Chains A and B, each alone.
Chain A
Amino acid sequence: MHHEEPFTNRNVSESSAYYYVDIETYPTTGWDKFKQVVKRTFNGELFVGLWVVMREMIKFDIHTVQYPLEKLPIGPRYRAVHKLLRLWESGYERCIGCGLCEKICISDCIRMDTRIDENSRKEVTEYSINLGRCIFCGYCAEVCPELAIVHGGRYENGSEQRAHFVIKDDMLTPLDLLKAGEQAEYPGFGAIIPGSDASVKKTPLAY
């Protein structure tokens, strides 16, 4: 359903929250313009600003983020470069190669190669996302039935080429990190909605 704010009176008036900013009239003649320049130059406002800088400098309490040495934390649901997650217990890849991400991708930048492996399971031999085309919409993460492809927090895509590919090995959680418990679940697009168990009707089981 389309939802609209109940904001009926959009006109600026005495009763509304809007008011006109008091702006001096612009100088029109050359003399007036000259006077304005002289006035602004010798007013001392410049030193007000310089004083603030000076004061903060000698306080030695700087708030500037020292990027790239320092990065701001980003929201957990931020959609940056993708990750492929592993199953917690077994360490197997979560991706089953269903191809839904490939299908849903609106910029058609996901491709995967699959085959039947020795255990008769579908194995994803290669998986790639063309980050030069990816618009980070999150559909792949949302459609993934296994919570395998998710977005991560890595937003830097510096590269020599515009078409910067990520391949499976770049995205897949390394086993040592998994064992160290470093793999993080993604709470954004695709994650299970809290309380969804309550809305599911269970299938009867004969045993």
Chain B
Amino acid sequence: MNEITITIDGRAIQTQEGEYILNAARANGIFIPAICYLTRCSPTLACRICLVEADGKQVYACNAKAKSGMDITTTTPNILAERRAIMEVYDVNHPLECGVCDQSGECELQNYTLEVGVDAQTYSIKDTHKPAQDWGLIHYDPALCIMCERCITVCKDMIGDAALSTVARGSEAIEAEFKESMPKDAYAMWNKLNKSLIAPNGGDTLDCTNCGECTSVCPVGALVSSDYQYTSNAWEHKQIPATCAHCSAGCQLSYDIKHTSITDPEAKIYRVKNEWNYVSLCGAGRYGYDFENRDVVKNPVAFEAAIAAFKKADTIAFSSTITNEEALILQRLKEKFGVRLVNNEALALKNFLSNYSTISGKSLYGGDLKQVHEADFVVSIGSALKTDNPNARFAMNNALSMNKGAGLYFHPINDPVIADMSKNVTQFNHAPMMEEAALYLMLDLFGDKETMPSSVVEYLSTFHSTKTVSVEETVDEKVTETVTKMVLNEESGVEEEVSEEVTKTVKKKVSKEVEVDENALFALLNAPAGFAETLTKYLAKKENFALMVGPDLYTHPHAANCARLVALIEKYTVFSVTMIPNLANTLGVAMICDLDGERGSYTIGYNTAGDFTLSALGNGDLDMPSLNQQEGTLTGIDKRVNPTNAALSYGGYILNDLANALGVNAKLTVDYTAQLPVEKGFSACVFDSLPNHYTNSGEEVRGYLLKNIAMNVSADENVRPFDVSAAIREKVVYLANPVLQFSPFTAASHQLQESGGIYLSASAIEANGWSEGELVKVKTARGELSVSIIKDGKIEGDIAYLPTFDTAINSEALFERYRFASVSIQKV
């Protein structure tokens, strides 16, 4: 990309060659109206209002690319006339219910109508009857819809559900006189608008992963959250900038708060908003916001009991849904009292990272989700992407759809959501325990064999063999035939038989014996037939490669070997490597705490079961604030330390109170922000100095980035071969959460309340002759559970999974460490 200079309205600005004019203008604070364009998605050209004049020619700023020296004028009399006509058209038959509309003034239709100065209406058309539709979490009122198609665009280009499309509006044709009288682009835009409406692909119901991003991008009040409907006006909310507390993506969001009611002045979160141009939320982030620990008052008796328990305890077990500061308090308690800190999920990542750094020489992986967004070849290994980290899934989908990318997805569970992302994505539904084979395949396909350790190269070569296969080819063959024809002899008047030679080209299939290289890894990973050719096609013109590895590898029995393989991939291939931490602050905990593996005799559980339990869910021995009730920082997948703020008040004791009583003193929890370990990559920044926003150019100004610290490298780059016989061929169960759930905190929010069970694909339920809701006994080597069957429409194949979000189901007890376990499922 070259830096170039263009002129917009006489102002010289710097931008990248090939950047859209609109983005260049926005990054430099120059206003060009635009309704249908979404940053990071493809231009729709539905609204046509971003019309500008570039070098004397009218172009659309959202899809015209900047060229060096371009001279752009954003307003000419003709453009102003077009814009005015466009806004008048949008206002035709638009219901005058702004007073109750949930957009309540945050409306782009209102803004632009005023901006271009529409004070009278010229156009008219007969209205059609468009009843409102309820799509579960989302409510669609087509009467308010202006057909900018932003919902369709974001669903396809960013989210990857492609659950929405246009259907016929059933409107009358626009009066012919308007075609003559009105500006050209305005007419074209109206003509398109007049033909279509938004509808779910599944007919009446929306079949998607319920991220609600469509409601977020809607410029008017057509798509809104069903729950939020008519409860509040936008201007009444105080927006609390925060970081999502559910997964490691660490999305920036704002909690919109207001008093609960006239009689209850206590603040309540009404909804979550996001900067949809730069960050997309999943459904858990958007709808799972009210997981606070309510109505807690200081209970001195419980506090004294907690202090006594701390004095008695030799172990503190905790989950990763805590802030960095709390993690540091726990670490200080460990240093002072020598207690064990147990968090197996964070320990798995910590060990993985330390094994990774023995080869990579870095404390942290090199990639982040931004690199995935920009990649054109994306690979995911060892992660149920859509539920482990929805933002990683969005990044992969965005890369595939925007960069003409291709992708590989290695996971035992077949995921239709991944398959729907693009035609150019291949799923390897390999057997559990074969993740190492996938990593070896990466080295085999993309590794630089010249520099790679020779042992690895030799090992990889054992998978290759030459095979003679017969290939069917179509060849053109010239065939000469003798054709007999009846020709009328003109002299005699009698028909005679005449022989004639005709040469024609015939396509003929021939079998040919060719020698091909056969890669045994393909078969071991259950590659689809003809994958070698598919891959060649995928790799054409690819420049940016991104690999995401997930929690399946961290808990893998051979996790150390996996980590070293990942480091080799990062070192010897062109791939950037991003690791997906499990929960909101798994990475932070892994960096800050010295974790232990086993619990001792008396355990204090923080947000996890223990002999004495501190719980932000309100079900423990002492209440703690949940993540929307406290300020602090969270470390996300992008290795960024993101600040989050308290949206709601909390009246009880906090961990810092306990620490103070135990002699680890700090006035506020956030006093620890500046004390986060610098040697682990943190910066000594004061909490209040941490920013949390995006700029107009899309730059993420949030917290700070962890420094990637150089580590000792051992010259030993040997990796162990994988064991084919270790592959689990029998029936397995997986440990994962359904869409919209991450932890008990998501399930505690009122819109996402549900109870867990064992999740199976529709085909698996049918094949076993079970039905939804039936109770089954799930038995692994470690124990058994009685749970009911729940259908998951977003998986295929016969692998079932058990969730971790439902505290009533102790799924983790059924698993050794690895996320897969052999299982028998019997109907009760």
Which residues from chain A sit less than 8 Å from chain B, CB to CB?
96-100, 102-103, 111-116, 120-123, 126, 128, 145-146, 201, 203-207
Are A126 and B175 in contact (CB-based, < 8 A)?
A: no
Q: In the assembly, what is the distance between CA of A163 and CA of B105, in Å?
A: 32
Residue of A nearest to B119 (CB): A201
Q: Does B75 contact A (CB under 8 A)?
A: no
Residue of B nearest to A165 (CB): B262
Residue of B nearest to A97 (CB): B100
Q: In the assembly, what is the distance between CA of A187 and CA of B229, in Å?
A: 34
Are B100 and A103 in contact (CB-based, < 8 A)?
A: no
Are A201 and B125 in contact (CB-based, < 8 A)?
A: no
Are B124 and A206 in contact (CB-based, < 8 A)?
A: yes
- Name the B residues within 8 Å of A145 (CB-CB): 99
Q: How far is the CB of A111 from chain B (nearest CB, A)?
A: 5
Are A96 and B120 in contact (CB-based, < 8 A)?
A: no
Q: In the assembly, what is the distance between CA of A128 and CA of B263, in Å?
A: 10
Select which of B100, B126, B229 is within 8 A of A96 by beta carbon: B100
Are B124 and A203 in contact (CB-based, < 8 A)?
A: yes
Q: Mark B258-281, 1 if CB is under 8 A from A, else 0.
A: 010111000000000000000000
Q: How far is the CB of A112 from chain B (nearest CB, A)?
A: 7
- Name the B residues within 8 Å of A113 (CB-CB): 261-262
Are B99 and A207 in contact (CB-based, < 8 A)?
A: no
Are A114 and B262 in contact (CB-based, < 8 A)?
A: no
Q: Does B132 contact A (CB under 8 A)?
A: yes
State which residues 223-238 of B face A: CB under 8 Å: 229-233, 235-236
Are A114 and B230 in contact (CB-based, < 8 A)?
A: yes
- Name the B residues within 8 Å of A96 (CB-CB): 99-100
A-B contact pairs, 18 of them (CB 8 A): A97-B99, A97-B100, A98-B233, A99-B233, A103-B233, A114-B230, A115-B230, A116-B229, A116-B230, A116-B231, A121-B100, A128-B262, A145-B99, A203-B121, A204-B121, A204-B122, A206-B125, A206-B172
Are B126 and A207 in contact (CB-based, < 8 A)?
A: yes
Q: In the assembly, what is the distance between CA of A147 and CA of B181, in Å?
A: 39
Q: In the assembly, what is the distance between CA of A113 and CA of B262, in Å?
A: 7
Are A112 and B262 in contact (CB-based, < 8 A)?
A: yes
- Name the A residues within 8 Å of B229 (CB-CB): 116
Q: Does B123 contact A (CB under 8 A)?
A: yes
- Name the A residues within 8 Å of B230 (CB-CB): 97, 114-116, 122-123
Residue of A nearest to B228 (CB): A116
- Name the A residues within 8 Å of B263 (CB-CB): 126
Are B231 and A115 in contact (CB-based, < 8 A)?
A: yes
Residue of A nearest to B265 (CB): A111
- Name the B residues within 8 Å of A102 (CB-CB): 233, 236
Q: In the assembly, what is the distance between CA of A201 and CA of B120, in Å?
A: 7
State which residues 110-146 of B face A: CB under 8 Å: 120-126, 132
Known: A113-B262, A204-B121. A100 touches B132 (CB 8 A): no
Q: Mark B541-564, 1 if CB is under 8 A from A, else 0.
A: 000000000000000000000000
Are A126 and B235 in contact (CB-based, < 8 A)?
A: no
Q: In the assembly, what is the distance between CA of A121 and CA of B230, in Å?
A: 8
Q: In the assembly, what is the distance between CA of A128 and CA of B121, in Å?
A: 38
Q: In the assembly, what is the distance between CA of A113 and CA of B120, in Å?
A: 35
Are A204 and B100 in contact (CB-based, < 8 A)?
A: no
Q: Does B14 contact A (CB under 8 A)?
A: no
Q: In the assembly, what is the distance between CA of A116 and CA of B263, in Å?
A: 19
Are A120 and B132 in contact (CB-based, < 8 A)?
A: yes
Are A103 and B235 in contact (CB-based, < 8 A)?
A: yes
Q: Given A203-B121, A206-B126, output 5 extra A-B contacts at Cβ < 8 Å.
A: A113-B261, A114-B230, A121-B100, A126-B262, A207-B126
Max chain B C-beta neighbours (<10 A), residue from A113, A126, A201, A207: A113
Q: In the assembly, what is the distance between CA of A204 and CA of B175, in Å?
A: 13
Q: Mark B229-259, 1 if CB is under 8 A from A, else 0.
A: 1111101100000000000000000000001
- Name the B residues within 8 Å of A146 (CB-CB): 99
- Name the A residues within 8 Å of B125 (CB-CB): 206
Residue of B nearest to A113 (CB): B261
Select which of B100, B122, B126, B262 is within 8 A of A122 by beta carbon: B100
Q: In the assembly, what is the distance between CA of A144 and CA of B263, in Å?
A: 24
Q: How far is the CB of B175 from chain A (nearest CB, A)?
A: 7
Q: How far is the CB of B214 from chain A (nearest CB, A)?
A: 20
6 closest Cβ pairs, A-B complex: A98-B99, A116-B230, A206-B124, A122-B230, A204-B124, A122-B100
Q: How far is the CB of A39 from chain B (nearest CB, A)?
A: 67
- Name the B residues within 8 Å of A207 (CB-CB): 126
Q: In the assembly, what is the distance between CA of A97 and CA of B261, in Å?
A: 14
Q: How far is the CB of A65 from chain B (nearest CB, A)?
A: 38
Q: Does B351 contact A (CB under 8 A)?
A: no
Are A206 and B175 in contact (CB-based, < 8 A)?
A: yes
Residue of B nearest to A111 (CB): B262
Q: Does B683 contact A (CB under 8 A)?
A: no
Q: In the assembly, what is the distance between CA of A122 and CA of B261, in Å?
A: 16
Q: Does B104 contact A (CB under 8 A)?
A: yes
State which residues 351-371 of B face A: CB under 8 Å: none
Q: How far is the CB of B104 from chain A (nearest CB, A)?
A: 7
- Name the B residues within 8 Å of A206 (CB-CB): 124-126, 172, 175
Q: How far is the CB of A117 from chain B (nearest CB, A)?
A: 8
Known: A116-B230, A206-B126, A207-B126. A100 touches B99 (CB 8 A): yes
Q: In the assembly, what is the distance between CA of A205 and CA of B99, in Å?
A: 22
Residue of B nearest to A95 (CB): B99
Are A99 and B122 in contact (CB-based, < 8 A)?
A: no
Q: In the assembly, what is the distance between CA of A116 and CA of B132, in Å?
A: 14
- Name the B residues within 8 Å of A103 (CB-CB): 233, 235-236
Q: In the assembly, what is the distance between CA of A122 and CA of B172, in Å?
A: 31
Residue of B nearest to A99 (CB): B233
Q: In the assembly, what is the distance between CA of A96 and CA of B124, in Å?
A: 27
- Name the B residues within 8 Å of A99 (CB-CB): 104, 233, 235-236
Q: In the assembly, what is the distance between CA of A102 and CA of B235, in Å?
A: 11
Q: How far is the CB of A62 from chain B (nearest CB, A)?
A: 47
- Name the B residues within 8 Å of A97 (CB-CB): 99-100, 230
- Name the A residues within 8 Å of B124 (CB-CB): 203-206
Q: In the assembly, what is the distance between CA of A113 and CA of B230, in Å?
A: 10
Q: In the assembly, what is the distance between CA of A76 and CA of B263, in Å?
A: 33
Q: How far is the CB of B173 from chain A (nearest CB, A)?
A: 11
Residue of A nearest to B234 (CB): A99
- Name the A residues within 8 Å of B98 (CB-CB): 98
- Name the B residues within 8 Å of A98 (CB-CB): 98-100, 233
Q: In the assembly, what is the distance between CA of A200 and CA of B360, in Å?
A: 73
Residue of B nearest to A117 (CB): B230
Q: In the assembly, what is the distance between CA of A176 and CA of B99, in Å?
A: 28
Q: In the assembly, what is the distance between CA of A157 and CA of B789, in Å?
A: 63
Residue of A nearest to B172 (CB): A206
Q: How far is the CB of B818 from chain A (nearest CB, A)?
A: 47
- Name the B residues within 8 Å of A100 (CB-CB): 99
Q: In the assembly, what is the distance between CA of A112 and CA of B99, in Å?
A: 14
Q: In the assembly, what is the distance between CA of A78 and CA of B125, in Å?
A: 45
- Name the A residues within 8 Å of B172 (CB-CB): 206
- Name the A residues within 8 Å of B123 (CB-CB): 204
Q: How far is the CB of B187 from chain A (nearest CB, A)?
A: 16
Q: In the assembly, what is the distance between CA of A190 and CA of B175, in Å?
A: 39
Q: Mark B433-453, 1 if CB is under 8 A from A, else 0.
A: 000000000000000000000
State which residues 69-125 of B face A: CB under 8 Å: 98-100, 104, 120-125
